[in-house]
Structure 1
Amino acid sequence: MSDQTIVVLGGGYGAEAAKALSVKVPAGFNIVLIDPRPFRVWLPAGLRMTCSDADNLEGLALAGYDNIFPKGNGRFVQGKAVGVTKKAGGGGAVQLENGEEVHFKILVLATGCKWSGPLDFPHSADAMNAWLKQCREEYTQAQRIVIVGAGAVGLELAGEIRDFWPDKSVTVVHAQSKVINAAYPDKYRDYAAAGLTARGVELILGDTVDSEIPTGGGKITTRNGKEIEGDLFVSTRGGLPNTAFLKTLDPSILSSSGHVKVKPTLQVQGHDDIYVMGDIIEWEEQRNAIKAQAHMGIVVPNILSSVAGNPPTKEYKGSYEIIALTNGRNSGSIYVDVLWGIILGGWITKIGKSKDLMVPMFRSAMGY
């Protein structure tokens, strides 16, 4: 039945939204959380986890959904969404790859990004173990590692590799003239770059790789004609919104980049019973975990208002930019876009993120 069901599609920060709804919805409502994996992957720990088995991250940064519904009013469904349909009068259904349909009164879209490279995690425990073993072997055996893309993922991966293998050659190629992107001031971009070059990481900026990145070792020629040899090439060009399945609902809700067009209440334009949070919303901001938490602070109260028979009134107005980049486990940098733009260095970044990658916070959020 769909008349009292709230479906949350996506088990990242969607899991935390499902947990919050489970606690607060009126009696009679039930929550269904859907995700292709039977566990949540804590992405801030993902890069270190692919490099090494140190700190038992595969036992800590992966967590099942057993404790998401503290009031017993929900269930988890493992499945991949391939479509969404609406029905006259409201509500609709999510179509899964296995043919199952999950009906909803209200739908929350929190499907996040599809990643390439090291963060392209498999959907089963056995495949995940094999993937981690493969990644670790590749990093261990390679002496010359070339990373294509100096966004947050590329920079953090370079720092992790330098931590575990100080003598390996690490090169990062980036299309822009400075690392990350122009959402951040030059002074911070230079600061983040300097932290890596001081550790012997080579940055090739203002250049890119147009050809297919080799699997394993080989040679690439950049757009500017520079030849780079490597034993391992790793793509870290960023994620793409996981929203193609929404074309079955209404292609007009997707922007040209594949993000979902929303109202300030974070309802889908033209579909007031569907809410959106996380990396897939069309909004002029950088996409990261802090923004997903801010979106949840709008979506959950608005749903609770709706199920109580009241219109949703909380509006998302955006938030200031903040980024925390690790540089291995003992350093990194933070930028906060307040006042004149505040840069925090390695010591505070180590305490806030680099040392434990916020894994204890993640496990607490998942009920462990």
Structure 2
Amino acid sequence: MASDTLRFVRKYWPLFLEFTITLVAQRIKAFTHRFTYHLLPTCKNVVVLGGSFSGAFLARRLGESLPSGYKVILIEKNSHFNFCFNFPRYSVVQGHEQNAFIPYDGLASGTPAGIFEIIRDTATGIRDEEVELASGKRIPFAYLAVATGALQPPPARLLSSEKNEACAELKALQDRIIGGKKIGIIGGGAVGVQLAGDIKSFYPDKHVVLIHSRDQLLPSFGVRLHKYVVDKLQDLGVELMLGERPAIPSTGDGTGTDLVFPDGRKETFDVIVPCIGQIPNSSILDGFSPSSISPQTRRILVESTLQLRNGEDPKSRELHNVFALGDVAETDGYRMARSGAMQAEVVRGNIIALINDKELEKYSPIAAEGGLKLSLGKDEYVMYVQDPDGTDFLIPGKSSKVDLEVEKGWKMFGAKFKKTSV
């Protein structure tokens, strides 16, 4: 493993150096921007739909760089930013759930007065250069970026848009796990793996079964990671059922439920937690540009510049001022927060390029965007990166923070951390 660390550093240090230089340059430009920007009475709107990772990154960077005469409006239904990386851990460990919800106010910190506006509402439609909201309001836009992400069942995503109610969802799952003896986790992606490892390491007396439809856990990554994770989960005592696809019943609170497997056998669990399924949240385009939605994946089709692609009909409307990014967009990139941040920077640059009649940049993903940091129980993690040529890097580590260093997430979004754990 030590050799992986050295190989990783040798290969990626130029990229880290370039990133550091770019970040410093961004900070300098953001600082000077506060003194050169002027809020005009007739500002045009750059609207961002969705305040998860991609949308939040984009809105903040636009607030740091839009020229005078433009302002950014972030439209988001949630009361707080959901730091969903930590949801699996906070579904198991009590007393930390409040820390997963970060105030949006910090996104505007350091930006010129008046350039940044957050509207808490739900977008219901797009037409005639306007976004229609559930409240009945219409928000005109000169440029629009769709970053509405994807829908997933709890605990990957939560149902409530209110912080207190979302915390209650996590607490309810904590209580179910504490009260259950045999717990079934369905889905061997990152959420399922982390949830299974956390339950077994914090509550070693539980019988935890991780059920996955394929023979490989984390199938979006290399076999080497699968083998490493299988060993760690088995060391913890997690039972693995690979290549199994049971019917998932609808049982309300998910307790006392039988799973029926394809061969007809049944197994009874006290708690069942589905960790499968990701549905792109692209319905906002159904009435605006339906040909921009992939019929196969339901993701939004985009050009290499991340502008909407609207099919082959030459009579289709011009969509040069509408972009899509993040999990909802059909790109060659990874479906990771890091990719969302990279795409956000491309969209930001291209909106400003359109304003200034400059050439647009193309998004070209790099392997580092697909890097994964996966917790494996309460005190271990593994980092994994795979290059397109199949070369991979697997770097294990130890973690001493039960809250998974959530304070870094608060800092990332400009918020002052308020520790509420018990």
- Same structural fold, with TM-score higher than 0.5 when normalized by the shorter chain: yes
1:41 matched to 2:88: no
**What is the aligned counterpart of 2:123 among 69, 74, 81?**
81
Worse overlay, 7-16 or 358-367: 358-367
Q: SS where residue 185 of structure 2 aligns?
A: strand
- What is the rounded CA distance, in whole Å, between the counterparts of 2:208 and 2:396 in structure 1? 22
- CA distance 1:155–1:141, change in 2 (3 Å): same
2:32 aligned partner = none
Shift of 1:355: 5.6
1:289 matched to 2:337: yes
- What is the rounded CA distance, in whole Å, between the counterparts of 1:275 and 1:38 in structure 2? 24
1:266 aligned partner = 306
Q: SS where residue 118 of structure 1 aligns?
A: coil
**Does the 8 Å contact 2:202/2:378 carry over to 1?**
no
Shift of 1:358: 4.7
Where does the alignment leave 5 or more consecutive residues of structure 1 unmatched? Answer: none
**What is the aligned counterpart of 1:16 among 57, 60, 72?**
57
1:251 aligned partner = 290
The code of the aligned residue for 1:46 comes to F
2:404 aligned partner = 357
Number of aligned residues: 355
Shift of 1:31: 0.9
Amino-acid identity (%): 25
- CA distance 1:106–1:153, change in 2 (3 Å): same
1:145 aligned partner = 183
**What is the aligned counterpart of 2:377 among 303, 328, 346?**
328
Shift of 1:100: 1.8
**Does the 8 Å contact 1:10/1:109 carry over to 2?**
yes
- What is the rounded CA distance, in whole Å, between the counterparts of 2:363 and 2:286 in structure 1? 25
**Does the 8 Å contact 1:173/1:207 carry over to 2?**
yes
Shift of 1:156: 0.8
1:206 aligned partner = 243
1:189 matched to 2:230: no
Provide, for residues 103-148 of structure 1, a one-character-per-residue CA deviation record: whole Å limited to 9, x for no partner: 1111111111111132332111332232222122111111111011
- CA distance 1:286–1:217, change in 2 (3 Å): farther
Q: SS where residue 302 of structure 2 aligns?
A: coil
- What is the rounded CA distance, in whole Å, between the counterparts of 2:201 and 2:134 in structure 1? 41
- What is the rounded CA distance, in whole Å, between the counterparts of 1:358 and 1:34 in structure 2? 28
**What is the aligned counterpart of 1:174 among 212, 219, 222?**
212
The code of the aligned residue for 2:267 comes to I
- What is the rounded CA distance, in whole Å, between the counterparts of 2:335 and 2:87 in structure 1? 17
1:306 matched to 2:325: no
1:343 matched to 2:394: yes
RMSD, aligned CA: 2.0
Q: SS where residue 177 of structure 1 aligns?
A: coil
- What is the rounded CA distance, in whole Å, between the counterparts of 1:179 and 1:172 in structure 2? 10
2:151 aligned partner = 114
Worse overlay, 195-204 or 324-333: 324-333
Q: How does 1:35-74 map to 2 (within 5 A)?
A: 35-54=76-95, 56-58=96-98, 60-69=99-108, 70-72=111-113, 73-74=115-116
* TM-score normalised by structure 2 residue count: 0.79
**Does the 8 Å contact 1:192/1:332 carry over to 2?**
no
Provide, for residues 265-289 of structure 1, a one-character-per-residue CA deviation record: whole Å limited to 9, x for no partner: 1111141111111111112444111
